[in-house]
Structure 1
Amino acid sequence: MTVSNSALLAAAFLTTVSSMSMAQAQTQTRNPPPAAQRAAPAPLPAPPAQPTAQDNAVVKGGEVIARVGDSEVTAEEVRATIQMLDARQQATMARDPALLNQTVRALLANRLVLKEATAKKWDHQPSVVTQLARARDGLIVETYLQSVTAVGDQYPSEAEIKSVYETNASAFLVPRRFRLAQIVVNLAKDADKGAEDAARRKLDDIMRKVKQPGADFGALARALSEDTATAGREGEIGWVAEPDLRTEIRAQVTGLPKSGIGDPIRLEDGWHVLKLVDTEASHTRPLPDVRDALVQRMRAERVEANRRAYVAELLKQTPPVVNEIALSRLLEPKPDAAPSR
C-alpha cells in the first residue's frame, strides 16, 4: 500500500493550519485589564469568505503554485484542501494571506519527507499499513455519511430562522458595557509601611487634582498613572462588559454618572482610580447581524441530527452483539510476566 500525494497534502494542510491558527491565537491573547477578570463573550463566527468567479479565473486549476525538486503543488490541489478546512480556519486564512503562503511551504517540505519515506519503503511497514487501512476506512465512512446526511439548500427557511432567533433571543443578548479609564498607583500586597505611606500620599494628591473643577483626567493619567499599559492612552481601559467586571469595581461603576470618578479601589497590584467615560445599554443583537452565523449553526445541527438518525436506523436493522465480559477484560491490567531464571 502506498500513500497518495493528495491524501498527504490534505493531512499536512490541516495539521499546519490548525497549528498556525493556535499559535496565532496564543500570540494575540493578552492579559485582561485590571478592571476585568474574564474575557468578553466571543461573537458568533463569521462565515468563511468565498472566492469570486473573477478570482477563480485568475488562477487555473492545473497551474503550478509551487514546486520543490520534481514535486509540484497545483492550484486545484490547494483549493481542494482549503475546502476541507472548517469555517473558522477558512476565515482565518482569508484574513491572513501569509498563512496560506506558509502552509504551501510546509506542504512542499512534507513532499520532501514523503519522497524520502517512500524511497525507503516506509509505507510497507506493518504498523504503517495497518494505520493507513484504518485511515482509509475512516475516510470512506465519513465522506459517505456526509453524502447521505447532507442538508438541502432550502433549509432553513426564513420562518425557521426567525423562529429559532426568537426562541433563543437570550443567546444574542449583549450585556451592558462600560467604557472606563483609570489612574493607578502601584503597591504590592506585601508592601511595607513606608511604601504604603508613600503610595497613600501620591493617591491623596491624585484625588485632590482629579476632583478640581475642569480637571483633565486623561492628562493626569498620562502624567501620574503607574500603569504603563493605560497611561499612554490617557488612562483608557476600553469597553468592559458588566459580567466581566470584578465585584468591587462593578458595585462602584454601576452607581457612577457619565464622566463620574469613583473613590480609590485597592486591588492586588495597587490603588485604582476609575472614571466612567461612557455606558452602553444592554441590547439584543438584531437578526440581520447574526443571520449568517445562525443559519450556519442550524445547518450544522441538522446535519448532526440526520447523522444520528441514519446510524440509529442502521443499528436497528442490524442489531449489534457485544461480548461485554470480554470487553471488560480489555481494561484489566495485564499480569506481570514471570521472572526469568
Structure 2
Amino acid sequence: MSIDIARTAIFVSMVAAGALVATPMVGAQTPSQTSAAPAQFKPKPAPVAPAVRAQSGASAKPAEEVVAHLGSTEITARELRAYIDALGPREQAAFAKEPALFGQLVRAILGERLVLDEALAKKWDQSPSVAAQLQQTRDRALVELYLQSVSAPPAGYPSDEELQKTYDGNRSLFVVPRQFQVGHIFIAAPKDADRVAEEKAKRKLEEVQRKLKTAGADFAAIARAETDAKDNGELGWISEGQIRPEIRTQVMGLGKGAVSEPIRLDDGWHLVKLLDTKASYTRSLAEAREPLAQQMRMERSNLLRRAYVAELLKQHPPVINEIALSNLLDGALKH
C-alpha cells in the first residue's frame, strides 16, 4: 500500500487497515526460562557438510514447470516453493495475503541471478579479497543453520498450560489501542513557500471548506475532485498512536461524521473527517495464540542456543593471549 505525501504528514508510521498493533513481547519468565539447560543436554558434533557440486548431464532430470525466465535464466515452480518454504511464518503470511508479492519475488530472484552470472563471468569470486569474504559468509551461514537445528524447541512446545500462564502474566501487552477510521483532504502549502503560493493554497482551502459546509456535502467526492484522491480520501483504520499529535487532538474531539477545522502543519493544510471509532480492547488468548506461541518458541530457541554454545565452550575452553589481544586493540585504535 503506497502512502502519499499528505498521509505521511499525518502518521508517524502506517500499517495495513485493521492490523493488530499489540505485538506480544513476552517479558515474564516462562517455565522454559526459569531453569537452566537440562543436564543431559550435550552438544552434538557438527556434521561434515557434503561438497556442493553442479548438476551434470549424466542423469536425466525430470521436466519441471518453468515459472519465469529471462534469457537462459529460469526459475522453476519447485525452486520457488523451496525459497518460500525457507521463509519465516510472518513472510509466508504476507505472501498468502498479497499474491502480487510473488511477481516481485520472481523479478528479484531473476535480477540476482543476472548479477550472479555477470560476476561469475568476470571471475569476480576468484579475487582473493572476495573469496575470503565468501568463505566467511558461508561459514556464518553454516553455523547459523546448524545452531537452528540443535536449538529447535520440542514439537509440543508451548503447551496450552504454558501459553495460558504467559498470556496471564503479560495481559497488558495484548491491549489493542483505540482506532479511528478517517477521511482526509490535504492542500499542499509548505511553510517555506512564497507568498503567492501561500495565498493560492488559502483560496483553495476556503473553496473546499465552502463545499464541505453545503447541505448533503459528499466528503469523498470533494476529496477526489480537489486532491485527486483515488481512495476517496479514506485512510482506513488507524490506531491513535499512529496519528500525528496535532491531528490526533482534533480527531479525538470529533463526533462521528464530523469534519475538523483546518489543521496547519509544515507541509500544508489538513481536513480530517471521523468516519467511525473502535474502542480499545484486550485481545483474547484465542486471538493472540499463534503470535504468542511463535514468540515463546523463539525465546526458547534462543535459550537453547546460548546453552549449547556455553556447553561447547565449557568442554573446549578457549585460550586467549590477552597481551597480544591488547596490543592488537591498541594498534587498531591508533589508526
Shorter-chain TM-score above 0.5: yes
Q: Distance in 2 between matches of 1:71 and 1:188?
A: 48
Deviates more, 1:234-243 or 1:200-209: 200-209
Q: Distance in 2 between matches of 1:177 and 1:314?
A: 50
| TM-fit CA distance, 1:334 | 7.1
Deviations 1:175-228 (A, max 9, x none): 2122222334443313455554554455445434433444333344344x3x33
Deviates more, 1:316-325 or 1:253-262: 316-325
Deviates more, 1:314-323 or 1:260-269: 314-323
Task: Give 2:13's aligned residue.
Answer: 39
| TM-fit CA distance, 1:322 | 1.6
With over 3 angstroms needed to count, the CA separation of the structure-2 counterparts of 1:87 and 1:116, relative to structure 1, is same
1:92-171 pair list within 5 angstroms: 95=99, 96-98=101-103, 101-102=106-107, 105=110, 138=140, 141-171=143-173
- Larger RCO: 1 or 2 (CA < 8 Å, sep 6+): 2
1:22-37 pair list within 5 angstroms: 31=5, 33=7, 36-37=10-11
**Unpaired stretches in structure 1, ≥5 consecutive residues:** 1-26, 46-61, 337-341
Q: Does the 8 A contact of 1:68 with 1:108 survive in 2?
A: no
| TM-fit CA distance, 1:259 | 1.1
| 1:63 matched to 2:62 | yes
Task: Give 2:176's aligned residue.
Answer: 174
| 1:87 matched to 2:61 | no
**Unpaired stretches in structure 2, ≥5 consecutive residues:** 22-60
Q: Does the 8 A contact of 1:151 with 1:299 survive in 2?
A: yes
Alignment partner of 2:329: what SS? coil
Alignment partner of 2:182: what SS? strand
| TM-fit CA distance, 1:140 | 5.4
Deviations 1:140-175 (A, max 9, x none): 544443343221111110111122223233333222
With over 3 angstroms needed to count, the CA separation of the structure-2 counterparts of 1:268 and 1:326, relative to structure 1, is same
Task: Give 1:296's aligned residue.
Answer: 294
With over 3 angstroms needed to count, the CA separation of the structure-2 counterparts of 1:138 and 1:234, relative to structure 1, is closer
Q: Does the 8 A contact of 1:37 with 1:245 survive in 2?
A: yes
TM-score, structure 2 as length reference: 0.66
Alignment partner of 2:158: what SS? coil
User: What percentage of residue pairs aligned between the two structures are identical?
Assistant: 44
Q: Distance in 1 between matches of 2:132 and 2:187?
A: 64
Q: What's the RMSD between the two structures over aligned residues?
A: 4.2
1:269 to 267, 270, 273: 267
Q: Distance in 2 between matches of 1:335 and 1:168?
A: 45
2:190 to 188, 191, 215: 188
**Counterpart residue identity of residue 13, structure 2:** A
With over 3 angstroms needed to count, the CA separation of the structure-2 counterparts of 1:270 and 1:140, relative to structure 1, is closer
* Higher fraction of helix: 1
**Counterpart residue identity of residue 264, structure 1:** P
With over 3 angstroms needed to count, the CA separation of the structure-2 counterparts of 1:29 and 1:321, relative to structure 1, is farther
Task: Give 1:319's aligned residue.
Answer: 317
**Counterpart residue identity of residue 261, structure 1:** V
